[in-house]
Amino acid sequence: METPYQNHINKADFDHVYEPAEDSFLLIDALEKDLEYLKAKNPTFCLEVGSGSGVVVSAFGMAFPQTFCISTDINLKACVMSKQTAAYNKVLLDACNMDLASSFINKKFDVIIFNPPYVVTESEECGGTDITASWAGGAKGREVTDRLLEMIPKKLADNGVFYLLLIRENIPDEVIQIMSNYGYKCETVIKRQVRNEHQLVLKFYM
């Protein structure tokens, strides 16, 4: 998979939108590692929740030009930047300013991707609509993630796949158990230590 061009982005824009970092590129690496699996699925619809700059969903769209990509972000500036990143890389993308995936039709998406706000913070720091929404994760760094987990059985197609990036502090085993209770199997696609963070990408499917 190619890394999307980002030359259109002004450095000052990253005062308002999460700048692509090691976690963003680990998620792209995970999708690349799973490329043959994804090609076999021939996805029609892909959703990235919390797209930030749009580099991840654009990388997916570049690899799957026949797939219609949708992104969401609670930060309006992130939606604008995602749309620009996709257009710059010739990816068909509809960017929606919304909380997680709350407004979408059920069982629509063949692929859902989420790089959540995973930093452990006070609960009061969650719920912003600016750049803090990209990192403030509340208790266990999981308050936003756990809300999306509840939506996955409703939004993911029956044969769909959900990619989720976590760090060790998020207690991934608990997430795996939550998803197991919904009937999902899990695989660790990739993991990497970045400075003081142990990052991993999990894949959930029926």
Share of the chain above pLDDT 90, in %: 91
11 confidence band (pLDDT: 50, 70, 90)? confident
The CA distance from 165 to 188, in Å, is 10
Share of the chain above pLDDT 70, in %: 100
pTM of the model: 0.97
Q: Is there a contact between 167 and 197 (Cβ–Cβ < 8 Å)?
A: yes
Tens of pLDDT, residue by residue over 124-144, are: 999 899 999 999 999 999 999
In the sheet with 156-167, reading across from the earlier edge strand, the strands are 93-97, 68-73, 45-49, 109-114, 156-167, 197-205, 185-194
7 confidence band (pLDDT: 50, 70, 90)? confident
Contacts of 95 (CB under 8 A, 6+ apart): 51, 54, 70, 71, 72, 73, 79, 80, 82, 83, 86
Q: Nearest Cα to 196, choosing from 167, 161, 172?
A: 167
Tens of pLDDT, residue by residue over 86-120, are: 999 999 999 999 999 999 988 999 999 999 999 99
Residue whose token pair is 């090691």: 22
What is the enclosing helix (H) or strand (E) of 113? Answer: strand 109-114
Q: What is the DSSP string of 138-153?
A: -GGG-HHHHHHHHHHH
- Domains, the chain, in order of start with CATH, read 25-194 (3.40.50.150)
